[in-house]
Structure 1
Amino acid sequence: MEIWSMTMTMDVLRMARKEDDDKNEPFYRAPIDMDKTHVVILDDHGPGPTMDLWRLFSKHPITTLKDMTKDAGKVPLPVRDASSFASTNLVVPLPGGSNPLWHNDWIVRDCQPSDAPLLHLFVQRVFAHFDVPLLVGPRTDTTDKDGGEPIVVTFIDRRGTRRLLNNGPLFKALRTRFPTDNVIIQSIDMATLSLPDRLKVVQDTDVLVGVHGAGLTHTMFMRRGAGAVVEIQPSGLAYKGFRNLAAMTGQPYFSAEAEMVAQGEETEEERADFDGNTKAPARSTSKKGNDPPKVWQASNVRMEEERFLALVDVAIKSVYNEGLRNKHVVE
């Protein structure tokens, strides 16, 4: 969201003209001024998977404020003494939380793909930056199979909080319901992938499934006008941001609530992951005898098998007849 806010800030500077400039030049000229532009990160959280996207604005190495100030003699920027500030322009974009995408995200909006040109422009820039093909519409690579291309279901596997408990048996049951020649089910920890690899995974996904969290932001990178999004929400959350995002990208959206379970209070069986491996129990955040209310940010979620299957079933069947696919929803 911060990077997207930065692109909008720079776009405004490219469009706005200097009032006292006889040449009527904009405040920022792209790509000419990129050679003179440096990106300085104010926090010290370390590089993440989106760090390379800051190079949308500068060809120079990305630096942090901490690195700038610890040794002024080695700073790679032309800001080493007070006099240099006279010819330096500082651009401060909106914080990520102020990005328009997240405004009113607790309210249902009647969003359409045609209502979101800024979203689509940002997505195009991300794909172009990493030289990853941006595709739209249903996946229809082959039609020689009965019923068309298999449907790819991607589950966003959270490894910290808000894990879907007992997800190994849940997905085993899902595979039993949908044979592999019709539906391919995969569980992916997005945190282990680079952003270009995430883009490719999501572009090849028909149904994106996840527990409420930042991973569902990948919805914006799905093929526009194809697929479906499934959100499992901790009980009582009632968040609408990903519902609205799915609408802006032309994706049908399906959701259901799941019981919140404090860290460490799940059973050993429930700690089994997608591949059947049992994880070590997390430290419980509750106090015996006087349990505080469960906080959704720090809780895992528990969902009954039949409810889980019914939720994903309706999402999968919603794409049964997209593009050149031709499948009966009831046998």
Structure 2
Amino acid sequence: MFLMWGSDYVYYMFLGSLNSNPGAQNYLKLASPNKRILGDIKEIIYSWNYKSEYNLDAIKSDLDDIVSELTILHFENKNDTHLLKSLHCVVLNEIYENLIPLIRSTFSKDDLYFYERCQKLCKRNVRPGEFGSSIYNSVPFTAAIVELSVLDKYKSPLEKINCLCYTYDLIFADLKLALASLMSQYSEKEYEIPIINNEEVEPILMVVVIKSKLLYLPSNLFYIKIFGEHIIKENDNNRTILKAFERAVTKLIAVKENSIDPYDENKLAPHLDVCKTMKIMAFADKQKYENDDAKLREEEKKRLVSLITTSTAEKNFIPLNLPKMFS
């Protein structure tokens, strides 16, 4: 890590560290000539004449004004995007304990209903196949579940959206690992991992959400969307992933617990995307050939894996290595 001092800005080498509140605080201390910058931020926050203590739109407007005033008073480069994100992160971390009860009280019924819904579905041990991706039933996605389960420990929209992004990354990592393992056994093109589209990830994300057992997911998504508006607007990946989580919540709320249809493994799909083509492979394993020749089955698997590499759709593709904020 090193610093480069320009005419009117501080360049912080490892911008990825700004994804956390400590990283944002360090950036502000480096970017401001004021050695008491963190103390002055607290002073302005708690001495501010707020328009309302209960209206979320008014509070958001006040917080934006606080960030603007801090920028004018204590920083030279007013247009530094990393500075603005760091200020928002630090300010919202400081005011979080006062703000979040208001948001949670607004969404208390939604939060409770969704939590109880996830609890019931979790007890049923639902898998992606019950939402349309049976080929991934054997993949546990443990890392993604663990990452999402700690969403509530983060305070700023910046940290929370990065938690959602990292959860999405981990889902893709597990998918790629599973595909690589399969292709290393049955294909000579083991390094040509096929493209995975969003439709295939959605059922997996729904299961990850269920098993993370979050108490306040609807209110968290609202908090990120409203108070992290500046982060969402300027980053397509953040916006796409936030919408993916919102869709997952909406679909899970609409699910009728007693009418979840298991994925029909005997129904062949008309399109050869990853999930559906690999489903054929799972189906082929169950076929009983009159001439039960192991080599014949191996060749069939190789052919199907070859189809995966050439027929997967690129539509709605989200890459594995989604850039995080400040990366």
TM-score for both structures, normalised by structure 1: 0.27
Structure with greater strand share of residues? 1
Structure with greater helix share of residues? 2
TM-score for both structures, normalised by structure 2: 0.27
